[in-house]
Structure 1
Amino acid sequence: MVPSFRKFVGMVLLVTFVIIYAFTAMVIGDLTLQQSSNLVRFVYFAVAGLLWVIPAGAIIWWMERSGKNQT
């Protein structure tokens, strides 16, 4: 895949993933943690707010791979 096209596809995937992940995390947190304490809600949203970094890092790693060693 051409590197510029790879970056375009990765950018579209990354933006789409972050938007879907954010809405999903908000809905899950809102619907399941309504009766929970503030500490539980804080921990959930802190973890959910940081967890998107792992798949986003994988997408960025894929975007930045060189075109030389591809199968």
Structure 2
Amino acid sequence: MKPNWRKPAGMLLILALIALWSTLVVGFSDVIGALPALVQAPIYLVLGIVWILPLKPLLRWMETGRWR
């Protein structure tokens, strides 16, 4: 089996995505932190799940070399 360069590149892209997303969320934490706790919880829940959405095409590309 021939080594594939897409898997290490994809892993680096996943780490970059996580770092970028967490930096973005931390940037808004002071605004979100001023809201009541019952409003904060769903916001952080959604923000904690949304970053997963771009992973499906990225993982598909890592395995097949195609985005779709």
- What's the TM-score, normalizing by structure 2? 0.79
Quote the Cα distance in structure 2 between the aligned partners of 1:54 and 1:11.
16
Q: Which runs of 5+ in 2 are unaligned?
A: none
Contact 1:3 1:63 in 2 (8 A): no
The CA distance in 2 between the partners of 1:11 and 1:19, in whole Å, is: 12
* Structure 1 residues without counterparts, runs of 5 or longer: none
Write out aligned runs for 1:34-53 (5 A).
Answer: 34-53=33-52
Supply the RMSD in Å over aligned alpha carbons: 2.0
TM-score, normalization: structure 1?
Answer: 0.76
Question: Which structure has the higher relative contact order (CA within 8 Å, separation 6+)?
Answer: 1
Identity of aligned residues (%): 23
Q: How many residues align?
A: 65
Structure 1 stretches (4+) deviating beyond 3 angstroms? Answer: none
